[in-house]
Amino acid sequence: MAKTKSEDILGEKWDRCVSDTIVKMGGGLGVGVLFSVLFFKRRSWPIVFGLGSGFGMGYANCQHLFDQPYLVRPERITVTAKSVTESVEGAKEKQ
């Protein structure tokens, strides 16, 4: 069984980030053009706002994707019950 190299994983993440950001910016551009033509008398600010929003969403998704190994996953958290004596001692200390 061949192991996946870390640079291949990083490359896949970069590919996903770039493609996701381009798609989001394209969607923002389309919505911006639509709003500019229909509602704002062909002004340019809705187009710029749409592009910026798309870029911001893509950037946030990239940050989340690259921070993924450092996130705490709920299935890894173990909950242990406190014993009755620990609860009573903790309550006494607070008083």
Q: Could you report the per-residue pLDDT of 2-39, keeping only the tens digit for each?
A: 687 878 888 888 999 999 999 999 999 999 999 999 98
DSSP string, 17-66: HHHHHHHHHHHHHHHHHHHHHHTSTT-SHHHHHHHHHHHHHHHHHHHHHH
pLDDT band per the 50, 70, 90 thresholds, residue 81: confident
According to the model, what pLDDT value does residue 52 have? 94
Residue count of the chain, please give it: 95
- Whether pTM > 0.85 for this model: the answer is no
Look at residues 20, 48, 24 and name the one whose alpha carbon lies nearest to residue 35: 48
* Section 51-71 average pLDDT: 87
According to the model, what pLDDT value does residue 71 have? 64
CA 16 to each of CA 22, 26, 52, 65, 70: distance values in angstroms, whole numbers, following the listed order:
10, 15, 19, 9, 19
Phi/psi of residue 4, nearest 5 degrees: -85, 130
According to the model, what pLDDT value does residue 90 have? 62
* 49: Cα within 13 Å, side-chain hemisphere: 11
According to the model, what pLDDT value does residue 87 have? 57
What residue segments make up the domains of the chain, in order of their start?
A: 9-94
* Section 41-49 average pLDDT: 89
